[in-house]
Structure 1
Amino acid sequence: MNVAVEHISTDQPPDDSKARDLDYGWQTGNQVELLENGEAYFPRVFDAMRKAQREILLETFILFEDKVGHELQGILIEAAQRGVKVVASLDGFGCGELSAPFLKALADAGVMVQLFDPAAKTLGIRTNWFRRLHRKIVVVDGTVGFIGGINFSADHLGDFGPEAKQDYAVQVTGPAVADLHHFALAQSGRQVRARRGWRRRQQRPSPWPTDKGDGLVRLIYRDNLQHRNDIEEAYIHALSKAQERAVIANAYFFPGYRLLREIRNAARRGVNVQLIMQGQPDVLLAKLAARMLYDYLLKDGVVIHEYCQRPLHGKVALVDDDWATVGSSNLDPLSLALNLEANVLIRDRGFNQCLYERLQALAKNHCQTMPENRKPRLWLWRLTVGFLVFHVMRHFPALTGWLPAHKPRLKPFESHAHDV
């Protein structure tokens, strides 16, 4: 297949000067609803897309040609055919197995399909592993937004079987959707204009809102330019203020020293700190790396649960009774130092309590709790392997610098350039 594409770099900000350094502040008056797993997420987002009148913006790391992917494809085609502007930005690694006919059907209907850093296989192996578009965002008509960790694949549904993922997303309505919309447009490489009341901020917004009350939402993201540490800093800041409780449920847990220290310090000063980790990881290295940190945290009172019913894919956290975050970012070197990620911060007591109850039910009914004074079998072997894993993971982002340098790009798919 010969592909004619136009290259649009997304490591560099869009040309619009008002969108070059996007810092989004806290927005008041929002409604945020937790969506757990594909059973809650897919019907809600598909219904919003079916009702779209003007525009659908979609970013996803994974889209498979299964029952979920085919349903999404049909909805996007129908929307484009009735005149809705549809932009689908797909990661070239996570969506690397999509067939040309699948993409061509979308493009022929008028869907603007963009592939982030696609690459042909080398000796049957995909090599474009790093600096992925890992965000999962949908914005419909600029009035409703969805963000979280759920991809468009059937493995987010319970009927997929033992490998079905446990995951979370949120539906947002209210003023914060304008920021999601502005961000999604800018990151797609489209020309955007500053929305009314928005301007490029000369100083970073406070990680803690000055306003009080429920319905506060702030969009934060990670890129490889000015916003390399924003998500990690948000976790650190929230934990530093924790007084009563903190719960982190994260699929791939291997944060930097500063975040680890803040987790430990919170537990030391009496905060009830709970971590929900993967008990059945799809990547064994991830489990080995996370377990290397257990002793450091357990000895200071952090409670660690391992979710064992099925793979945990969530990326959520809460602090005290009103702060929470949901998004695409894991707490590992890939998400914190390489990938393009996006989360929302939420100050809302009702949402916080809902998330807390869901996570507590998960911990109580489907997790095993690590003993404080655990002494695993073959501990010397585990210590040796763990030591190596720890240092490989810790220096992993720097090691990737040895690879040939490249700038990941969005490549618009043009159906007329394909013979299928």
Structure 2
Amino acid sequence: MLPEIPDPVVVAAKKSVTRLVMAFLAVQAAVVGALVLYDAFKHRQRTKRPNFPQPGVFEGRVADSEVTIYTYGEDLYADMLAAIRGAKTRVFLETFIWKSDDTGRRFKEALAEAAERGVEVFVVYDGFANLVVPQSFYRFHPKIHVYRFPVLRPSRLFTPLRSTGLDHRKLLVVDDETGFVGGYNIGDLYATEWRDTHVRITGPSVWDLRQAFVGVWNTVCAEPEIPHHPPQSWDPHIRTVNNIPAHLVYPIRGIYLEAINRAQSHVYITTAYFIPDKQILRALIAASKRGVDVRLIQPEDSNHVLADWLSRGFYTSLLREGVTVLLYRNAMIHAKTATIDGHWSTIGTANIDRLSLTGNYETNLEIHDRAFAADMEKIFEIDSTNCRELTLTEWKERNFAAPISETILIPLRPFL
């Protein structure tokens, strides 16, 4: 049988498509490179220390648990370190970024002291997020149980991408009595120069945060296994919601969608990076169309220029439908919070982007409480005073090259 001779037209068409794809990728790479260089230049021009309002510390009670909201890193770190130094039985610490600076060393020393006096200490940190930190820093006290999420995992080759996410969580649980969760990583930069939000819980609801840590440790780390303890009570007012890539479980996206779809009065969202999927974008627009006051705070210039430009690709759709876009100035706002209708709130580690909602290990608290929501609204109001509102007219008049660049970057949305 004679070999089949390729159709010249088909061959030419395939070559043309290949050339077009390669040309598009080259243009896309050029845009990304230009943005990174421009951002680096802007950062060199900034000599001032970031200046931003500090909403303060908010204390309250939700059902049988005491809750404290932190909006400034130094306040949070002082209480976290005090909890570790006062630990009697066990400490669970999980963080995405852990710098080898003064703040990082203080945490490391406090954990070593706890282990030395007989406290069980378990530590989890992400390897990829800390590639720039000297590995010598992560030599812990020999009694501390440590798991480093590896940068390269064989599972990435044989399982779906959604099952191999980074560990983006920031958790601390002490003696099964006190728990912390939120957006703060560990480092000097976050202590004073970033605006973020964290929450402390003391009481029965700490069990949920304990279980969040134990569930991941026993699934991914395995040795030594931490025993399961059932909760002492069932509190529907505070719920811990966990994204677990190893199980392909991503409920945080669901709680956002459900809460936005229920909204009748207002939706106030603060997020470091806003790269929503179609359903979340449509939910926000639909809420605005039915008369809900939808407001979004995010950085005017974040620490990731590519994420900024991907976010900007959504502004036209949001502004056209009446969503208020507030750009936080003069500092990085890294909070991952929302409050809706004066009743529902969430604080946690998940941004509204693809990596957080369908990729990484994340933990958010879902809180149903009017007093807590009132505090969250106060924080949002104070943060809003440090924002400028973006208008549709201003956005339409931006440089002609901007929308072209935003369009070229659209294919990168699923990866961030």
Matched, 1:382 2:399: no
- Alignment partner, residue 147 of structure 2: 114
| Conserved 8 A contact 1:306-1:370 | yes
Highest RCO, 1 vs 2 (Cα 8 Å, sep ≥ 6): 1
| Conserved 8 A contact 1:89-1:115 | yes
- Alignment partner, residue 179 of structure 2: 145
- Alignment partner, residue 10 of structure 2: none
- Alignment partner, residue 115 of structure 2: 80
Change (3 A) 1:356 1:384: same
After TM superposition, give the deviation of residue 228 of structure 1 in Å.
3.6
Partner of 1:374: helix, strand, or coil?
Answer: helix
After TM superposition, give the deviation of residue 243 of structure 1 in Å.
1.2
Give ranges in structure 2 of 5+ residues lacking alignment.
1-61, 154-163, 219-223
CA distance in 2, matches of 1:97, 1:396: 22
Matches of residues 119-268 of structure 1 in structure 2 within 5 Å? 131-158=165-192, 164-189=193-218, 190-197=224-231, 216-268=237-289
| Conserved 8 A contact 2:204-2:232 | no
| Conserved 8 A contact 2:204-2:231 | no
Matches of residues 82-101 of structure 1 in structure 2 within 5 Å? 82-101=117-136
- Alignment partner, residue 73 of structure 2: 38
After TM superposition, give the deviation of residue 379 of structure 1 in Å.
4.5
Matched, 1:369 2:389: yes
After TM superposition, give the deviation of residue 180 of structure 1 in Å.
1.2
Partner of 1:31: helix, strand, or coil?
Answer: strand
Identity of aligned residues (%): 28
**CA RMSD between the two structures:** 2.3
After TM superposition, give the deviation of residue 226 of structure 1 in Å.
4.1
After TM superposition, give the deviation of residue 359 of structure 1 in Å.
1.4
Q: 2:415 aligns with which of 379, 396, 399?
A: 396
Please state which structure has a larger fraction of its residues in helix: 2
Show CA shifts across 1:216-248 (max 9, x none). Answer: 110111122445431111000001111111100
Which structure: larger Rg? Answer: 2
- Alignment partner, residue 312 of structure 2: 291
Give ranges in structure 1 of 5+ residues lacking alignment.
1-26, 121-129, 159-163, 200-204, 398-420
Partner of 1:274: helix, strand, or coil?
Answer: strand
CA distance in 1, matches of 2:178, 2:398: 52
Amino acid at match of 1:286: A
CA distance in 2, matches of 1:154, 1:346: 29
After TM superposition, give the deviation of residue 388 of structure 1 in Å.
1.9
After TM superposition, give the deviation of residue 197 of structure 1 in Å.
4.9
Partner of 2:380: helix, strand, or coil?
Answer: helix
CA distance in 1, matches of 2:73, 2:228: 34
Matched, 1:63 2:98: yes
| Conserved 8 A contact 1:182-1:192 | no
Partner of 2:124: helix, strand, or coil?
Answer: strand
Deviates more, 1:286-295 or 1:383-392: 383-392
Show CA shifts across 1:333-382 (max 9, x none). Answer: 21122211111111122221111111111112x11100133344455422
| Conserved 8 A contact 2:261-2:283 | yes
After TM superposition, give the deviation of residue 283 of structure 1 in Å.
1.2
Matched, 1:270 2:305: no
After TM superposition, give the deviation of residue 182 of structure 1 in Å.
2.0
| Conserved 8 A contact 2:209-2:240 | yes
| Conserved 8 A contact 2:102-2:188 | yes
After TM superposition, give the deviation of residue 167 of structure 1 in Å.
0.5
After TM superposition, give the deviation of residue 312 of structure 1 in Å.
1.4
CA distance in 1, matches of 2:231, 2:84: 27
| Conserved 8 A contact 1:277-1:305 | yes
| Conserved 8 A contact 2:342-2:373 | yes
Q: How many residues align?
A: 341
Matches of residues 8-23 of structure 1 in structure 2 within 5 Å? none
Amino acid at match of 2:86: K
Change (3 A) 1:177 1:70: same
After TM superposition, give the deviation of residue 78 of structure 1 in Å.
0.7
TM-score, length basis structure 2: 0.77
Partner of 1:147: helix, strand, or coil?
Answer: strand
CA distance in 2, matches of 1:100, 1:286: 28
Partner of 2:347: helix, strand, or coil?
Answer: strand
TM-score, length basis structure 1: 0.76
Moved over 6 A (4+): none
